[in-house]
Amino acid sequence: MIVLTIIARVADGLPLAASVEEDEQSGRDLQQYQSQAKQLCRKLNAQSPDRCTLEAGDMSFHFLIAQGVCYLSLCEASFPKKMVFAYLEDLHNEFYDQYGKKVPTVTRPYSFIEFDTYIQKTKKIYVDTRARRNLGSINTELQDVQRIMVANIEEVLQRGEALSALDTKASNLSTLSKKYRSDAKYLNTRSTYAKVAAVAVVFITLIIYVRFWWL
C-alpha cells in the first residue's frame, strides 16, 4: 500500500505537491512519517542518488530524482519495489509534462497541489492487485531494482549522514568489488601459469633423462 507521496524541488526542498492516504485500519500515525519525509527532501542535493530506498521499520521510503525534482513515496515494506519505482516514474512523466517549466520559478509551498488528483488516480492503478499483474511487463530501466541503493531513514536523518555520502560509499564499494575481482583474476592467472610451468619442467626433465639414459 502506498500511504504517502510528496513531490519536492531538490534545490531547496520546497514541497510542490503531496497526497496522503489515511491509514485508519492499522491506526498508524502518519505525522511522524510526514515529518521524516519533509526532512529528507530538505537534505537532498545535486549529488544525491537518483533512486534510493530508506527503510523505516515496517515501512519504506522510496524516492526518484529527475530534472531537479524528487518524487518520494512511503509504502509498506512488503510492497513490491519494482511497482513503487514504476509508480514514481509515472508521476515524473506526467508532472514534468504539466509543470516542468514552472518548477524553478515557484516560491509558494504546494503550488501544484491540484496534481493530487493525478496522484490518487495513478496510485489506485498500482495498488490494485489485478492492475499490478498487468504491469508485470513494464519496459523501464527501473526493472533492475537490485541496484537501487538501500539505507536506513534513522541513519540519514538522526545521524545527519548526507545522501551524497551514501552514494559515495556505494561507489567506493563498487570500486573495491571490481578491484577484488581484478586481483582474483590476476592471482588465478598466475596460479595457472605456475602449474603449466611446473608440468613443463617435469616434462623437459623427463625427456632429458630418457635421452641420456638411452644414449
Domain 2-165 has CATH 3.30.450.50: yes
Question: What pLDDT score was predicted for residue 187?
Answer: 55
Mean pLDDT of the chain: 76
Q: How confident is the model at residue 95 (pLDDT cuts 50, 70, 90)?
A: very high
With both helix axes pointing from N to C terminus, report the angle between 116-127 and 81-99 in degrees, rounded to the nearest 10: 160
Residue type, 70: C
Residues 21-31: tens digit of each pLDDT: 765 544 567 88
pLDDT average, residue stretch 106-135: 84
Burial 126-163 (b: 16+ CB within 10 A, else e): bbeeeebeebeeeeeebeebeebbebebeebbeeebeb
pLDDT confidence bin for 197, thresholds 50/70/90? low
**pLDDT for res 102:** 95
Strand 59-66 and strand 51-56: pairing? antiparallel
Largest CA-CA distance found in the chain, in angstroms, rounded: 101
- Residue (of 55, 66, 70, 82) closest to 18 by Cα position: 70
| Whether the predicted pLDDT of 142 surpasses 50 | no
Q: What's the rounded mean pLDDT across residues 187-203?
A: 63
pLDDT at 46: 83
29-66 per-position pLDDT tens digit: 788 888 889 988 998 888 888 898 998 888 999 999 99
What pLDDT score was predicted for residue 176?
47
Scanning the structure block, which residue is given the C-alpha cell 519504506?
A: 60
Phi, psi of 98 (to 5 degrees): -85, -40
Residues sharing a CB contact under 8 Å with residue 142, sequence separation 6 or more, in sequence order = 51, 82, 85, 86, 89
Phi, psi of 109 (to 5 degrees): -60, 145
Q: What 3-state class would DSSP assign to 64?
A: strand
Q: What is the pLDDT of residues 73-83, one digit of tens each?
A: 999 988 988 88
Quick check: 135 pLDDT over 60? Answer: no
pTM: 0.68
C-alpha cell recorded at residue 111 = 503550488
Q: What are the structural domain ranges in the chain?
A: 2-165, 168-214
Cα–Cα distance for residue pair 65/18, rounded to 1 Å: 16
